[in-house]
Structure 1
Amino acid sequence: MKVVTLLGSARKKGNTARVLGWVEEELKALGHEVERIELANKEIKGCLGCAKCKETPDAIACIQKDDAEGVLEKMIEADVTLFTSPAYFWGFTAQVKSLMDRSWSLVTGFHTPDHASLVEGQKQALLVTGGGQYDNNVEPLFTAFGRLQNFYKAVNAGELFIGGCTIDGTMPEDAKERAVAFARGIVE
């Protein structure tokens, strides 16, 4: 399988990148093709809400010319897309949120019988790291991701939250074991 991973953290060696590295290592060991896209290195402007992308339902067709189109094209070509983000104030990082907003261009006819998506049927997964626990902390990210899957007409291949992480890189002892099991699960 071709797996695209979207590193949504600005810290290239932070907790999210570290856990994602374990996931990617396992995916490669299982024989899958893995491409990491570091969103912090991309220029992805916010969605204008102009709806010009809706005029061409079989293409991305966003009028903005930045790195979003290239990332979205990689998502379309992938068998699995893995979104990753540290939890920032009960939400995704700005890098992830901008891409999600711009992915509006992948879908037409939402809430109608003509609902179509350029990533329909694709497996997608979510990996989140954070300092706190799940409750009253990161559950909004997972709720939003579930709704995004419905919007994309995609298949939720798995979700993983590694809480108890600190800025200095301390994380739970079982974090790597959980990351490896998660990697196996998203490509089953």
Structure 2
Amino acid sequence: MKILTLLGSGRPTGNTATALQWAEEELRIMGHEVEQINLVSKNIKPCLGCANCKESETSINCIQRDDAEEILQKMIDADITVFASPTYFWGYAAPVKALMDRSWSLVTNYKKPNHASLLEGKRQGVLLTGGSEFNNNAEGLTFAFNKLQVFYKTTNCGELFIERCTIDNKRPADAKERAMTFAKNLVA
């Protein structure tokens, strides 16, 4: 399978990046093609809400010219997309949220009988890290992720939250094992 991972952490060797790397290694060992995009290094402007993208059901059709269109096309081309983000103030890191906002261009006629998505039938997963427990930390992000799956007409193939991560890269002893299991579940 062709798997695209979207890293939203500003720390290239931090907890989120490390957990994602473990998952990617496991996927490669299983024979899958994995491409990572570090969203922090990309120019992704915020959605303008202009709705120009709603004029086409067959193309991205965003009026902005930045790196988002190329990334969105890679999501369309991939079998599985994984969003990876630290939890910041009960939300996704800014680069992940900006791309999610711009993905509005992938869907037309939401909640109507002719609801169409350029991602329909694809699989998606989310990998999150945070400093405290799931409750009052990441539950809102997974709730939003599940809503996004309905919008995209995709299948949620995995969620992982690694709790008690610290700024000095301390995390639970079983974090690597959980990341590897997450990877296996993505392609199961």
1:136 lines up with 2:136 in the alignment: yes
Separation (CA, whole Å) in 2 of partners of 1:169 and 1:9 = 13
Give the gaps of 5 or more residues in structure 2: none
Q: Structure 2: how far apart are the matches of 1:167 and 1:136?
A: 19
Match for residue 42 of structure 2? 42
Residue 104 of structure 1: aligned partner: 104
Q: How does 1:74-113 map to 2 (within 5 A)?
A: 74-113=74-113
Find the aligned partners of 1:137 and 1:31 in 2 and give their Cα distance: 34
Q: Which runs of 4+ in 1 moved over 2 A?
A: none
TM-score (norm: length of structure 1): 0.99
Equivalent position of 2:122 in the other structure: 122
State the Cα distance separating 1:136 from its structure 2 match. 1.1
Paired residue secondary structure (1:63): coil
Structure 1 partner of 2:11: 11
- The Cα RMSD (Å) is 0.4
Q: For residues 92 and 53 of structure 2, what CA distance do their matches in structure 1 show?
A: 24
1:32 correspondence with 2:47 = no
**How many Å separate the matches in 2 of 1:148 and 1:4?**
17
CA shift at 1:56, angstroms?
A: 1.3
1:137 positional shift:
1.1
User: What is the number of equivalent residue pairs in this alignment?
Assistant: 188
Q: Give secondary structure in 1 for the equivalent of 2:92.
A: coil
Q: Matched residues in 2 for 1:128 and 1:145: separation?
A: 11
1:54 corresponds to = 54
> What is aligned with 2:170?
170
Displacement of 1:125 after TM fit? 0.2
- Measured in 1, the distance between the counterparts of 2:12 and 2:40 equals 9
CA distance in 2, matches of 1:61, 1:126: 26
Provide structure 1 residue ranges, at least 5 long, that are not aligned to the other structure: none
TM-score by length of 2: 0.99
User: Identity of counterpart residues, as a percentage?
Assistant: 61
